[in-house]
C-alpha cells in the first residue's frame, strides 16, 4: 500500500524529496471529517459548526441528500409531517415532525416545505439543500471517499489519524471520523435465474408498464409494498415472497416495519383478490424462463439434480410433483425489493469495520455510544447506526437519529474539548417539575424511547440536582467519563417505554383493556409512557452487561411508571404528578410538597428540620405568601387551617366545648391530672 500512496503524493504535491516519505503536510487536515451529506451528516455538521469546530463533510454527489433524489422510487416519504397538533410548544411539536433536522432556525421546519402528511421525497431534497446552504455548512461536494485507513500517531486524539482518499486521489487527514453514509448498497440474493430479476433501483414506476402482467415481488419491507401499491390496480395479480412473516408497524411499534399507508396488498390478499403473500427462503429459489419469456418458479434443489443443460423442459418444476403448488402460475416479472446495506468496501482492514450479527448484518458493529467497535474515534451516525436499536426504536430514521447525532456530538465535545455534557442545576424543590416538564414536551425521549434517557444526578444531601438531557442509556455505566459530570449520590433515569409484552409482529394490539387508566396500575401500561429508574449508585459495566435483554436498563433500586395517557399529556395532578412526587419522596426520604408561607412559619417554630420547599423558599424570603383571596381559597380547600376563627375563650373551659370546635384542638383539652411517675419521665424528652 505504501508505495502506491507515495507515488500518488509525488504526482499531486510535486514533492521532490526522497522517495516514499509520507508527509503530513501533504494531507488536507480537519479535526472532524464527516462522510456523507445526508440528513445525519448535515445534522452532525450543524452541531460541529455551532460549537466552532474544524470540520468538513465529503459528499460524492453535487448536492446533499442524494439518496432522497432517487429513493423512495415512488417518491412518497412515509415519515409523517404533522403540521397541526393544537400546541405551540416547539419541542413537543417535533414529536410529530419526523422530517425536520434540529436547528435554531425556525425557517428550517419541514412543515414549511410540504403540506402533505406523507411528503414527496423532492421536498426532502429541497429541505436538505436549504439546510446546508442557510446554515452555511461546510460541504465538499463531488468528493467520493473511496478509501479510509489509519495512521498511528501517539499525539493524535485517539492514538491515530484517519486518512481518507477521494476519487481523485486527494488525501485528507482527520482526527475523528464521522461516518454518515447511510445504507445504500442494495441487498441482492443470488440464485439460479436471478439474472431475470429486476431491482427496486431500476424497476419502472409507470403502472402502465405492468398492465395485465403477473408479478412476483421478492421482499416484504416497505419498499416491496410500496412497489406493489403502485401497480396493484393494473396487474393480473401480485405475489410477494420472503423468508419471514409480515411485520406490521402498528403491531410492532417500530416505524421501520410495514406501515399502514403501504399495506394495500394485505387487503387484497386477505379479501381473496388474487394477490398473495408467501413465506419461503429466497436462497432455495430458482427461476427459469420459458420460450415465451414467462418466468417459472422452481427450487434450486431440482436444478442441482439436473443432469445436463437441457431446455426448460428438462427442468423439474414443483408442480410436476405437487400439482397444486402455490406459485405454479408463470410470472411476467420478478422484482427484487430487499432493502439496503452499509458500504463496508471503503474501509481498510485495520479499521476493523465488521458487519453486525444476524439480522443486523447490514449495519456495522458499533457500541451504544455509536463509536465503532473496531476503531476508536470513528463514530457511525444516521441510518447506519441503527444496529443500536434495530427493530426497537427510531435510531435508523431522521426523527430518531437527529437526537442520537446530537448525543454523539456532546460525547465528542466532552472527550476532545473538555466541554462537559450540558446540564442545568436546580434546587431539589424543582425535581417533580423538571421531570413533568420533560416527559410532556421532550421529543428526543419520545422518539428514541428506551435508547436516550434524561439523567438526574443528585447532589449531596439531595438539596439540589443536575439535569442531563438525552444521554444514551447503553453507556450509562460510563456516564462520569463520557459526560464529565459526577454522580456521587445517586441518580434518576427518565426514559420512555412501551409495555413489556405489548409489541410484536404476532401481537394483538387492539385487545380489550389494553390501556390502563389508574395510577396504581401504571406499571401495566402498554402504550408509550415515562418510566423513572432510581439508582443509589451508577450501575457498573458488569451490571449493564448482565441486564435482562428486554430491559433497557439494569435492575434499579426503585422504579416508577407514570401511567400511560391517551393524550400523552402527563400533567394530571392526581394521576400523574402526585404518584411521581411520592415516588421521588420515597427515594430521597424527603418531603417535596409545596407549602404556603404560613405553614412554613408554623414549621419554623415547631420543627427542627423544615421541608425543602420552606428551607429553599420561605427561609430565603421567597415564601408563598399569596394574598387574602388565595388564603381564603386554601382554607376552603382544607389546605390551610383557619386560626382566625378559633375562639380561645371557649378553649380554656372544656365544659363549654360542645364538639363544635376544630377537632385538632380536642387533643389538647384534656383536664390535667398528672400521674406522678409519668411526669418524671419528662426529663427524657
Partner 1 sequence: MSAQKDRWVSSFSFLLFCVSSIPTRGSARLLQELSPQEYFGSLQAGRASLAYFSHNVSPGAQPFLEQIENSAEALQDYGISVVKVICPKEDVSRYCGKENALRKAYLFRGNMLIREFPTDALFDVNSIVANVFALLFNEVKYVETLADLQNIENALKGRSNMVFAYVPAIGTAEHRAVMEAAFVYGTVHQFVLTTEATLLKDTGYPDVSSARLLFCHCQRATDLAQPCRRTAMGQALTMLNIHKHLKLMGAPLVTEVAEDPEKVSTVHLQLGLPLVFILSQKETYEADRRTAEFVAWQLLGKAGVALLSRYALRCFGVFGVPIKYLVLEDTDEVITLVEDKSKVEQIQEDEEEEEEEEEDEDEKENNNQVSRDKKRELPLEQILVLTEETFHSALLETARMVVLFYASWEAVSLAVLRSYTEVADHLKGTRGVLLSRVNCWDWPGVCTEENVTQFPTIKIYEKGERSVMYNGMWGTEELTSFIMLSRVPCPLKLATIDEAEGYLRGEFPSELSSYHHTSLLGVFSTATSEAFLLARSGGQSVEGITLSKQNTQDMVQMIRYELLDIFPEITVQNLPRYLQLRKPFLIVFSDGDIGQIESKEMLKLTKGRPQQEFVACWLNLKKTPVGRGVLKAYFATMPSLPVLIWVNFHAGGQVFKFPSEQSITELNILSWLEKLKAGLEVPSSKCTRVCNVPKHTLLALVCL
Question: What is the footprint of partner 1 within residues 577-606 (CB under 8 A)?
Answer: 577-578, 590-591, 593-599, 601-606
571 near partner 1 (CB under 8 A): yes
110 near partner 1 (CB under 8 A): no
Cα(290)–Cα(131) distance, integer angstroms: 52
393 near partner 1 (CB under 8 A): no
Phi-psi category of residue 568: left, alpha or beta, with phi > 0 → left and psi -120 to 50 → alpha: left
- Under rule CB under 8 A, which residues in 41-60 are in contact with partner 1? none
Q: How far is the CB of 85 from partner 1 (least distance, A)?
A: 12
Stretch that binds partner 1, among 52-60, 155-163, 196-204, 523-531 (CB under 8 A): 523-531
For partner 1, how many residues bind (rule: CB under 8 A)?
A: 103
Stretch that binds partner 1, among 37-45, 229-237, 289-297, 572-580 (CB under 8 A): 572-580
Q: What distances in angstroms separate CA 397 from CA 446, 474, 545, one per listed residue?
A: 14, 19, 27
Pick between residue 335 and residue 445 the one whose CB is nearest to partner 1: 445
Question: What cell does 111 get?
Answer: 412543515
Q: Figure out which of the listed residues 62, 514, 522, 541 binds partner 1, where binding follows CB under 8 A.
A: 514
Environment class of 376 (CB within 10 Å of its CB; exposed 0-12, middle 13-18, buried 19+): middle
525 near partner 1 (CB under 8 A): yes
Separation of first and last alpha carbons in the chain: 86
673 near partner 1 (CB under 8 A): yes
Cα(410)–Cα(644) distance, integer angstroms: 57
Q: Figure out which of the listed residues 9, 564, 580, 587 binds partner 1, where binding follows CB under 8 A.
A: 564
In the 8-state DSSP scheme, what is residue 538?
Answer: P
- Under rule CB under 8 A, which residues in 25-44 are in contact with partner 1? none
459 near partner 1 (CB under 8 A): no
Q: Figure out which of the listed residues 652, 655, 658, 660 binds partner 1, where binding follows CB under 8 A.
A: 652
Pick between residue 293 and residue 659 the one whose CB is nearest to partner 1: 659
Q: How far is the CB of 572 from partner 1 (least distance, A)?
A: 9
Cα(60)–Cα(30) distance, integer angstroms: 18
Cα(651)–Cα(667) distance, integer angstroms: 11
Q: Figure out which of the listed residues 90, 167, 270, 359 binds partner 1, where binding follows CB under 8 A.
A: 90
Binding letters toward partner 1, positions 609-648, x by CB under 8 A:
xxx------xxxxxxxxxx-xx--xx-xxxxxxxxx-x-x
DSSP 45-59: HHHHHHTT--EEEE-
17 near partner 1 (CB under 8 A): no
Stretch that binds partner 1, among 202-210, 245-253, 407-415, 657-665 (CB under 8 A): 657-665
Pairing of strands 171-179, 378-380: parallel
Cα(91)–Cα(19) distance, integer angstroms: 58
Pick between residue 161 and residue 498 the one whose CB is nearest to partner 1: 498
Q: How far is the CB of 463 from partner 1 (least distance, A)?
A: 14
Pick between residue 379 and residue 595 the one whose CB is nearest to partner 1: 595
Q: Rg (Cα) of the chain, in Å, rounded?
A: 33
Pick between residue 102 and residue 234 the one whose CB is nearest to partner 1: 102
Residue that the C-alpha cell 464521522 belongs to: 178
User: b or e along 124-145 (b: 16 or more beta carbons within 10 Å of the residue's beta carbon)?
Assistant: bbbbbebbbeebebebbeebeb
Q: What is the 3-state secondary structure (H, E, C) of 207-224?
A: HHHHCCCEEEEECCCHHH
Torsion of CA 617, 618, 620, 626, to 10 degrees: 90
84 near partner 1 (CB under 8 A): no
Pairing of strands 529-535, 491-497: antiparallel
Cα(640)–Cα(631) distance, integer angstroms: 8
- Under rule CB under 8 A, which residues in 247-286 are in contact with partner 1? none
Pick between residue 250 and residue 302 the one whose CB is nearest to partner 1: 250
Asked, as a colleague might, if the bond just before 72 is cis with ω within 30 of 0, I would say yes
669 near partner 1 (CB under 8 A): yes
562 near partner 1 (CB under 8 A): no
Q: Figure out which of the listed residues 520, 540, 546, 551 binds partner 1, where binding follows CB under 8 A.
A: 520
Amino acid at each position: 500500500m505504501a508505495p502506491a500512496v507515495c507515488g500518488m503524493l509525488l504526482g499531486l504535491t510535486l514533492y521532490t524529496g526522497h522517495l516514499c516519505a509520507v508527509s503530513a503536510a501533504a494531507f488536507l487536515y480537519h479535526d472532524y471529517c464527516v462522510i456523507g451529506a445526508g440528513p445525519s451528516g448535515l445534522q452532525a455538521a450543524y452541531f460541529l459548526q455551532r460549537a466552532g469546530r474544524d470540520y468538513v463533510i465529503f459528499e460524492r454527489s453535487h448536492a446533499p441528500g442524494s439518496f432522497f433524489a432517487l429513493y423512495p422510487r415512488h417518491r412518497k416519504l412515509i415519515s409523517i409531517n404533522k403540521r397541526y397538533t393544537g400546541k405551540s410548544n416547539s419541542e413537543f411539536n417535533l414529536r410529530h415532525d419526523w422530517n425536520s433536522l434540529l436547528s435554531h432556525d425556525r425557517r428550517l421546519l419541514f412543515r414549511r416545505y410540504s403540506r402533505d402528511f406523507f411528503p414527496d421525497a423532492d421536498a426532502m431534497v429541497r429541505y436538505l439543500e436549504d439546510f446546508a446552504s442557510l446554515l452555511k455548512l461546510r460541504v465538499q461536494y463531488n468528493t467520493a471517499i473511496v478509501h479510509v485507513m489509519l495512521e498511528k500517531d501517539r499525539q493524535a486524539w485517539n492514538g491515530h489519524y484517519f486518512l481518507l482518499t477521494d476519487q481523485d486521489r486527494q488525501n485528507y487527514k482527520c482526527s475523528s471520523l464521522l461516518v454518515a453514509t447511510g445504507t445504500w448498497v442494495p441487498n441482492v440474493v443470488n440464485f439460479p435465474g436471478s439474472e431475470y430479476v429486476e431491482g427496486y433501483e431500476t424497476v419502472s414506476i409507470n403502472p402502465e408498464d405492468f398492465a395485465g402482467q403477473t408479478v412476483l415481488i421478492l421482499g416484504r419491507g416497505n419498499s416491496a409494498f410500496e412497489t406493489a401499491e403502485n401497480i396493484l390496480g393494473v396487474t393480473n395479480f401480485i405475489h410477494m415472497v420472503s423468508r419471514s412473516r409480515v411485520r406490521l408497524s402498528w403491531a410492532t411499534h417500530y416505524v421501520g416495519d410495514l406501515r399502514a399507508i403501504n399495506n394495500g396488498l394485505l387487503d387484497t390478499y386477505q379479501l381473496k383478490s388474487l394477490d398473495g403473500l408467501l413465506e419461503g427462503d429466497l436462497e432455495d429459489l430458482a427461476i427459469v424462463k420459458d420460450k415465451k419469456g414467462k418466468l417459472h418458479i422452481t427450487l434450486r434443489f431440482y436444478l442441482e439434480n439436473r443432469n445436463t443443460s437441457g431446455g426448460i423442459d428438462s427442468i423439474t418444476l414443483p408442480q410436476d410433483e405437487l400439482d397444486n403448488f402455490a406459485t405454479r402460475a408463470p410470472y411476467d416479472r420478478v422484482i427484487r425489493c430487499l432493502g439496503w446495506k452499509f458500504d463496508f468496501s471503503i474501509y481498510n482492514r485495520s479499521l476493523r469495520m465488521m458487519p453486525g450479527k444476524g439480522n443486523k448484518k447490514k449495519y456495522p458493529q458499533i457500541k451504544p455510544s455509536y463509536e465503532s467497535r473496531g476503531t476508536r474515534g470513528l463514530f457511525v451516525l444516521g441510518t447506519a447506526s441503527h444496529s443500536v436499536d434495530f427493530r426497537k426504536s427510531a435510531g435508523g430514521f431522521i426523527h430518531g437519529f437527529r437526537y442520537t447525532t446530537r448525543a454523539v456530538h456532546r460525547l465528542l465535545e466532552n472527550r476532545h474539548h473538555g466541554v462537559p455534557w450540558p446540564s442545568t442545576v436546580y434546587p431539589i424543590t424543582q425535581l417533580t417539575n423538571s421531570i413533568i416538564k420533560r416527559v410532556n414536551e421532550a421529543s428526543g425521549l419520545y422518539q428514541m424511547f428506551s435508547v436516550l434517557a434524561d439523567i438526574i444526578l443528585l447532589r449531596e444531601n439531595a438539596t439540589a440536582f443536575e439535569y442531563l438531557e438525552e444521554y444514551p442509556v447503553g453507556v450509562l455505566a460510563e456516564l462520569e467519563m463520557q459526560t464529565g459530570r459526577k454522580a456521587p449520590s445517586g441518580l434518576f433515569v427518565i426514559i420512555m417505554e412501551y409495555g413489556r409484552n405489548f409489541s410484536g409482529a404476532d401481537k394483538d394490539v387492539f385487545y380489550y383493556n389494553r390501556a390502563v387508566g389508574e395510577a396504581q396500575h401504571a406499571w401495566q401500561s402498554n402504550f408509550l409512557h415515562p418510566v423513572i429508574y432510581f439508582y443509589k449508585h451508577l450501575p457498573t459495566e458488569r451490571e449493564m452487561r448482565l441486564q435482562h435483554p428486554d430491559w433497557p436498563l439494569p435492575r434499579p433500586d426503585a422504579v416508577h411508571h407514570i401511567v400511560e395517557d391517551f393524550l400523552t399529556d402527563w400533567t394530571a395532578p392526581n394521576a400523574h404528578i402526585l404518584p411521581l412526587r411520592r415516588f421521588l419522596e420515597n427515594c430521597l426520604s424527603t418531603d417535596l410538597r409545596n407549602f404556603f408561607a404560613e405553614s412554613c412559619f408554623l414549621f419554623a417554630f415547631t420543627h427542627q428540620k423544615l421541608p425543602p420547599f420552606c428551607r429553599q423558599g420561605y427561609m430565603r424570603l421567597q415564601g408563598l405568601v399569596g394574598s387574602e383571596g388565595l388564603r381564603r381559597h386554601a382554607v376552603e380547600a382544607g389546605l390551610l387551617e383557619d386560626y382566625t376563627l378559633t375562639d380561645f375563650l371557649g378553649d380554656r373551659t372544656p365544659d363549654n366545648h360542645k364538639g363544635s370546635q376544630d377537632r385538632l384542638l380536642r387533643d389538647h383539652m384534656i383536664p390535667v391530672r398528672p400521674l406522678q411517675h409519668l411526669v418524671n419521665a419528662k426529663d427524657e424528652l
